[in-house]
Amino acid sequence: MDVSAATGTAAVLLVGLSFRSAPVPVLEKVSLADTELPKLQLAMLETDAISESLVLSTCNRMEFYTVANAFHSGLDHVVDTIADFSGLPMEELEPHLYVHYADSAAEHMLNVASGLDSMVVGEQQIIGQLREAYQQANEIGTVGRTLHDLTQRALHTGKRVHSETNIDTAGASMVSFSVDKALDRLGVDKNDQAPMNNHRALVIGAGAMASLASTYLGRLGIDHVSVANRTLSRAENLASHARQAGVSATAVPLTDMPPVLGEVDIVVSATGAAGHVVLAEHVAAAREQQGAQDKPLALVDLSMPRDIEQAAAELPQVHLLNIEELTTMAGESVEDEDPARSIVKEELESFLEQQRAQAVIPTVKALRKKAVDLMADELLVLERSTPEMSAEDRQLVERSMRRFVDKLLHTPTVQAKRLSAGGAHVSYPDALAALFQLPTGAVQSVTEPNSATASVARAGNLGSAIRVLNNNAQVNTVQINQAQDNQGENS
């Protein structure tokens, strides 16, 4: 494919990092608190090269979707903005970036929304995370027509994949996957009818992931769930939902959370906070107070940056599972992956065809306006040169000229949209013949400028190869340091 996934000359430019391309410490530094994301998205627009921005932030992925009016200056600005907000030097940041442009960026978002680029392939949670990212960007005004159309198509594609294939038959999500691994550390058989019977849990946070954790623990037969959150009302709301589902649950403010650590068997933390919420000293003190030093405790940290201090894993009988460790456990082979990719391919082709058709609309409007203006000029000349002509005759002439213009432009208007949607490359004379449906050979051939595949490099510090994959010098897919495409994430 060789066309822009954007309206007009602008194209979608994606710069990202995921658990596939970057180690957790780098991801952790690039990840921002929820309150900082709007500032970053607005900062992306502080250049004429970028007109839209949307940031998808999950526990193991940071992706910066923008609409670039100029590739090189747009890429420079996006990378510089990421570096400024993360505080990472360029030499530490750039080796871990992957870049997609135009139709490759559109394809990537469709794969992400379908769970095909996830740590747990086929998980559905990413659909909600993408929807939330879009809603936030829309609220602050950084999303326009291009990212709106792409995001809606990606969400639609993700829903199709999950409803028309069995890619998520196992019901795995990042939450269920990580909790299942935690049960293994506790020596609990998750295949039992109620494996978490006689166990207690602490869920820290009150967002979507915390809610999923509470629900999943309830399905496993947990005896009691304590929900801790900085805003107590949100914790109470989540606890209330758990009780409605038949699970015993209570809410505590985050400040009262440490003592609870000595009473539970499993902790799932997903707050999105900027710093550690659970310290090793919290865990040690609580377990000593409850006399639980010899009881196994599983700590599941689904946040980026991390919620739970790494030193907690050094305590006796304490097992810490964070994104770094979970990454090494996740598999990639799932049922119905090929049919899912076929749906993505179908939706991508439809989307790109739609975008190409929309891209020609401004030109068609300009053509019609030009024709109407010329007709108005000619009518004015006619009026001045034929003062004796009656008003009725002038109206007849004007109607006749309007019909002539409409008939003359109807075919090229329809053909321009059709040819653009098809994405075909034709020579100037062939294009003219096609637009007006002229007989073959009716238009004298003209010399077409030579086009060639070009190699370009990022103006700045990106020294890695950037490949241009079509024959009209338009950048289509960019790879930085051969960061792997079509690999995964979830959070």
Hey, which residues are catalytic here?
59
C-alpha pair distances (Å), 424 with each of 1, 155, 417, 433, 483: 10, 28, 12, 14, 30
Nearest to 125 by CA among 186, 174, 74: 174
CA dist 225 and 253 (Å) reads: 14
CB-count exposure of residue 139 (10 Å: 0-12, 13-18, 19+): exposed
Local structure of 487: helix, strand or coil: coil
Strands 266-269, 224-229: pairing is unpaired
Nearest to 130 by CA among 102, 146, 148, 151: 151
CB-count exposure of residue 288 (10 Å: 0-12, 13-18, 19+): exposed
Nearest to 119 by CA among 321, 339, 298, 329: 329
CA dist 106 and 349 (Å) reads: 10
CA dist 287 and 319 (Å) reads: 14
Nearest to 364 by CA among 430, 421, 403: 421
Nearest to 115 by CA among 418, 366, 472, 491: 491
Strands 61-68, 224-229: pairing is unpaired
CA dist 134 and 143 (Å) reads: 8
CA dist 145 and 52 (Å) reads: 9
Local structure of 1: helix, strand or coil: coil
C-beta of residue 342 within 8 angstroms of C-beta of residue 319: no
CA dist 180 and 171 (Å) reads: 12
Local structure of 249: helix, strand or coil: strand
Strands 50-58, 11-18: pairing is unpaired
B/e letters for 354-380, b = 16+ CB within 10 Å, e = fewer, are: ebbbbbbeeebeeeeeebeeeeeeeee
| Residue matched to tokens 């969400």 | 155
Give 114's DSSP letter. T
